Amino acid sequence: MGKALWCCLVFACLLIPLAVADWNILKQQTHDGLKISLKNYCESWRMNVELHNIREFQVVPEECIEYIGKYVKSTQYKVDSQRATDECLVYLSTSCNLKKDGLDAWIFDVDDTLLSTVPYYKNNLYGGKKLNVTSLEEWMSKGNAPALDHSLKLYNELKSRGVQIILVTARKEHLRSVTIDNLVKVGYYGWTKIVFRDPADELISVQQYKTDVRRQIVNYGYRIWGILGDQYSSIEGTPSPKRAFKLPNPMYYVA
Ligand SMILES: *[C@@H]1O[C@H](CO)[C@@H](O)[C@H](O)[C@H]1NC(C)=O
């Protein structure tokens, strides 16, 4: 046999298992006769995460790691985020009768709402690897998370309209000072209140913790006009805000 033929054989042996693996993933999706690509499959997975049809996922499906990585680095992710913050501004201008008595309030999440954790997840398969809290907190402690630009614009706009800004984060108390330094470094300052999880709050779900904080805020007399967050656990439950806006985040799920 010629050298070229050998090369072809070796090449085919290497490629066939890959092709079969891919085809198996897709075959599962074509039981109703619909032919779909891997991109169709992963786009649909991402969309259904955002629609809150897919919940409590532990990791991004292996076959979609590449797709999700591309998405969170893409212009589309920026455009999707900007649309969300633009809609906050539309709502603010058309539907909020601000009293300007120091009790108009807006709540923000921190991670993947004000600060981006994409640089961390980039080294962890964009959520395709099970979360290691220790290494995430080590990364957070460095205080190098970049701002999400459109969130910073909304933040400053709310501030200029005299809305009290309240940050409610699932980060723990021991990360308080590094988080504050990080926020200030990238341009966030002048908030009214920032709330971290204390050890007792770590025993309850994030959603329970965040609704407990909202209850206190309402009891102080604040009107919560809106929340911007990237997780349903930040915006669901009572007391509810008048409106809630969700930013895209297909990398992880917090219950
Ligand atoms: C989690 O991260 C820490 C710190 O980087 C590391 O020491 C530890 O081995 C990791 N644990 C697992 C299960 O990978």
Domain containing residue 128: CATH number: 3.40.50.1000
Integer Cα distance of 76 and 84 in angstroms: 12
Distance 4 CA to ligand 1 centre (A): 47
- At residue 165 the predicted structure's pLDDT band, cuts being 50, 70 and 90, is very high
Long-range contacts: 131-135, Cβ < 8 Å, 24+?
Answer: 131/252
The alpha carbon of 131 and the centre of ligand 1 are apart by a number of angstroms equal to: 10
pLDDT in tens, 191-201: 999 999 999 99
Q: How far apart are alpha carbons 198 and 229 in whole angstroms?
A: 20
Residue 43 included in any domain: no
For residues 95-108, average pLDDT: 97
Q: How confident is the model at residue 23 (pLDDT cuts 50, 70, 90)?
A: very low
Mean pLDDT (whole number) for 240-249: 97
Residue 72 lies inside a defined structural domain of this protein: yes
Q: Which of 134, 138, 139, 142 to mutate to test the pocket of ligand 1 (most atoms within 8 A of CB)?
A: 134
Q: Is residue 231 part of a domain?
A: yes
7 domain-assigned: no
- What spacing in Å lies between the alpha carbon of 120 and ligand 1's midpoint? 14
Q: Is residue 179 part of a domain?
A: yes
How many domains are contained in the chain? 1
- Give the residue, 95 or 16, on which the prediction is more confident: 95
Output the pLDDT for position 197: 97
Mean per-residue pLDDT over the chain, rounded: 92
Considering the domain boundaries, does residue 102 fall inside one? yes
CA–centroid distance, 54 to ligand 1, in Å, is: 28
Structure tokens at 248: 């895209």
Report pLDDT for 24: 56
* In-domain check, residue 206: yes
Q: Domain range holding 85?
A: 62-246
Residue-wise pLDDT for 111-142, tens only, equals 999 999 999 999 999 999 999 999 999 999 99
Q: Which of 120, 123, 132 to mutate to test the pocket of ligand 1 (most atoms within 8 A of CB)?
A: 132
Position 32 scores a pLDDT of 80
In a domain, 35, yes or no: no
Q: Which residues line ligand 1 (CB under 6 A)?
A: 132, 134-135, 138
Which residues contact residue 41 at a Cβ distance below 8 angstroms, ignoring those fewer than 6 apart? 25, 26, 29, 63, 64
